[in-house]
Amino acid sequence: MTIQNRDQFLNRIAASLGRPRHTDGVERPKWSVNPQLEVLKGQTQENLIDVLEKQCKIIHTVFKRTDKNGLEQVLKETIKAYNGKSIIVPNDPRNEQYGLLNLFHEIEQRIETHIWDYTKQKENQIFAERADIGITFSDITLAESATVTLFHHKDHGRTISLLPHSYIAIIPRETIVPRMTQATQQIHEAIAKGEDVASCVSFISGPSNSADIEMNLIVGVHGPVHATYIVVD
């Protein structure tokens, strides 16, 4: 819907309501009751990690935990478990901070690795379609639902976590929050400060799960078949 069509549409609604349109001075309502703020309130980071681990079992996601020094070995084991021969990752500065570039260099003789390059749009897409594994860092992690939040941009395409057969999320400990409430608060606060916010935000809760009308679970129709979360202390 274009801006012009949008205005015509809203003007028609306002006319039907018998009042002029409110185009300024609109403020977000302040609710008298906010139960969403009470869920997992006051939990320590360790408690939230426990909640995350338990929820991973429910959504058929492998949960692993390590520190920066052990991340390389845990990734090797996970890639081997998924029989990964090709990997796609975003062009993320955390790749270097967490030692992933060293890992990719070490395994390049036997595992093809593609780092997202926004100047090669078609090449990115083709590689993602045939990649065995997509690996990303979680920007915000929701303990309650075991959901990783990804902020997409030119160096981090959506297909990295969507098209490969298996998906690995690296979760820095400090990104873990109780639930969706805190994630949306962070986004609202960033907008209020005038900061750039990703035009595409993905919320991923384990592997792709779908159910038909008879409630038969089908895995992998709309995304990866397998998922592993690695919490990094």
* pLDDT tens column, 191-222: 989 998 998 999 999 998 887 777 777 777 78
pLDDT value of residue 23: 77
If we measure between CA atoms, which residue out of 196, 195, 149 comes closest to residue 172?
A: 149
pLDDT value of residue 199: 87
pLDDT value of residue 3: 66
Report CA torsion sign: 79, 207, 134, 222.
positive
Look-up of token digits 């390059």: 117
Strand bridging mode 166-172 / 226-232: parallel
CA dist., res. 138 & res. 130, Å (int): 23
C-alpha distances in angstroms, 208 versus 60, 134, 147, 192?
Answer: 10, 14, 12, 33
CA dist., res. 90 & res. 201, Å (int): 15
Query: Is residue 67 classed as helix, strand or coil in its secondary structure?
Result: coil
This prediction has a pTM of: 0.87
Which superfamily is assigned to 59-232 in CATH? Answer: NagB/RpiA/CoA transferase-like (3.40.50.10420)
Structure tokens at 24: 């300024």
Query: How confident is residue 84, by pLDDT bands cut at 50, 70 and 90?
Result: very high
pLDDT tens-digit series, residues 15-64: 999 988 887 777 878 888 888 888 899 899 999 999 999 999 999 999 99
pLDDT tens-digit series, residues 108-141: 899 999 999 999 999 999 999 999 999 999 999 9
Mean pLDDT for the chain overall: 92
Instruction: Return the DSSP state at 134.
Output: E
Structure tokens at 22: 């409110």
If we measure between CA atoms, which residue out of 114, 65, 61, 75 comes closest to residue 224?
A: 61
Top-confidence range, 4-8, 13-17, 28-32, 67-71: 67-71
pLDDT value of residue 220: 76
Residue 2 has pLDDT above 60, yes or no: no
Number of C-beta neighbours around residue 143 at 10 A: 24
Print burial letters for 184-222: b (CB count within 10 Å at least 16), e (below 16).
eeebeeeeeeeeeeeeeebebbbbbeeeeeeeeeeeeee
